[in-house]
Amino acid sequence: MKKITRRAIKDFQPFSESLPPVIQRIYAARGVANEDEVNLQLKQLIPAQSLKGLDQALDLLHHALREEWHILIVGDFDADGATSSALSVLALKALGAAQVDYLVPNRFEYGYGLTPEIVAVAQQMNPQLIVTVDNGISSVEGVQAAKDAGIHVLVTDHHLPGETLPKADAIVNPNQPDCTFASKNLAGVGVIFYVMTALRTKLQQQGWFEQQNIPVPNMADYLDIVALGTVADVVPLDRNNRVLVEHGLKRIRAKKCRPGITALVEVAKRNQARLVASDLGFAVGPRLNAAGRLDDMSHGIECLLTDNPRQARDFAMELDQLNHDRKSIEFSMQNEALSVLNQLQFGKEELPWGLCLYRKDWHQGVIGILASRIKERFHRPVIAFAPTDGDEIKGSARSIPGLHIRDALDAVAAKNPGLMTKFGGHAMAAGLSLPASHLEAFKDAFDEAVRSVLNEEDLTGEVLSDGELETQELDLPFARLLRDAGPWGQGFPEPIFDGEFELLEQRIVGEKHLKIVLTVPQSNRLMDGIAFNVDLAQWPNKKAKRVHVAYKLDVNEFRGVENPQLMIEQLTAL
């Protein structure tokens, strides 16, 4: 059971006459100090000019357009890579590119990034320029292979670089050394959106669109794609990213978005007019990701590229089925992992602080989700491994607050040269490869690296609460106000509140979810709540009459009628 900690705000002073005090308090707990910081107009975006390498990238792209080069986009096989690839193709065509294609490595054959093997595949398509999106910053050998083949390379990425940068013609990545761009949190799709927007401006200034007799594209048309990729990649929603996501959501709600996004929203059974960021993260993004996890991400990219609503619907239904298949595989893998870990605990062995899990029959495409699920259950960094065709195994790592997972892997590599074949990633997620024979040594090295950074309190986990709501705030108008106060997400979390309630009814729905009815304190009003994936050994609990609940206040719509609902994060019988 996680402890519930109420957020402390020192010397809070209301900063707005237009925002309710409780909303201001919630914002303040997330570092917002004045009303200007919640101004999400597009003009608030950080200017592109501070992106290192942008000028070289624009010169290269301008030359490619003038000379009618064949441009090949090489993306990643996740939702950020898919949205980045789709945006690149759509934008370059709108900007007048003569020939644009894309290539996404199949994760089961080629692995991640612009590898020499992928360059060999790319050569068969005879490109003159390769543009990497959401990858490339660690592709030192692949970029060199492309250059040796006479192909120009533009790297656009957002991942953390290694000690050596690839020798590309241009690199745009806010996380590369000496880049002064004020936000380091752009997703890959955000980076390529900035590049394409800056290219549109450069071309405008040089009279390109008049010369080509083509319309000037409105780059805001691509913000639906940017919003989807940004939320799905779980990058921190700093102000800059919230601007991008907010305007992308507005386009989706107004149905001014790609037919493929509308189709994905429909198969996910979400109300498009009321879509919020969490819908992109938990409903739309996973369906797009399913293509890269189980099959070929080109299915997801084609879903985003098509202008035909019927074709988009077909792609979306295919992706929905893949997502169902993914859930089934994940459920089986999770049960196997929990069985092993429960046996360790039952045997009174201390769980490692850094968990490493591996089975020879696990699916490469699902280990990232498995690592996330186990991390949530045991609240410690987790790496789940799966086999490849050779003697190597691939791992997907997920971390907890307090441990930068890529830095931890870097520490392992520094102390144990040759233990890993390669690794890379973010603060909270990373990927790696190593020989299967090195796994036991790696487990010990990883656990040691985690213990050197964390303490025991870090492993208990906590629910950060924004406090208790007043009785009059537990209603539909306030629930709507909270929904519209976002976008909420990574680094700018949706508010969680806590309080005590009388428990009137409880029942299991959907085999593992607990539906409850509570009495609103100091009133006769009843309110529904739902807790997902409860421990069936503890709930329903017929003895429980009063409960302490940590919850999100949400709007539930059923048959056109809206009611407030508690989305329960933690439930404790009193």
Q: For position 111, what pLDDT does the model report?
A: 67
Instruction: Tell me which H or E stretch contains 435.
Output: strand 429-435
Residue 549 has pLDDT above 80, yes or no: yes
The string of pLDDT tens digits covering residues 488-513 is 999 999 999 999 999 999 999 988 89
Residues 104, 109: Cα–Cα separation, whole Å:
11
For range 33-45, the mean pLDDT: 91
DSSP characters over 92-122? HHHTT-SEEEEE---TTTT-SSS-HHHHHHH
Closest CA to 194 of 292, 322, 47, 73: 47
pLDDT given at position 461: 83
Provide the pLDDT confidence category of residue 110 given band limits of 50, 70 and 90.
low
Q: What is the pLDDT of residue 346?
A: 56
Q: How far apart are CA 101 and CA 470, in angstroms?
A: 56
Distance CA 340, CA 335 (A): 9
Over residues 410-468, the pLDDT tens digits come to 999 999 999 999 888 778 888 999 999 999 999 999 999 999 999 988 898 889 999 99
Residue with tokens 């996890």: 293
**Section 22-27 average pLDDT:** 92
What token pair was written down for 379? 């609240």
| Residue-wise pLDDT tens digits, 86-105 | 999 999 999 999 999 999 87
CA 454 – CA 442 distance, rounded (Å): 18
Q: What percent of the chain has pLDDT over 70?
A: 98
- If you average pLDDT over every residue of the chain, what do you get? 92
Give the domains, in start order, of the chain with CATH numbers. 49-319 (3.90.1640.30), 333-459 (3.10.310.30), 463-573 (2.40.50.460)
Closest CA to 370 of 429, 321, 433, 288: 429
CA–CA distance, 116 with 110 (Å, rounded to integer): 9
pLDDT exceeds 90 at position 558: no
pLDDT of residue 269: 94
Q: Give the integer Cα–Cα distance in Å for 469 and 518.
A: 15
ω into residue 401 within 30 of 0, thus cis?
A: no
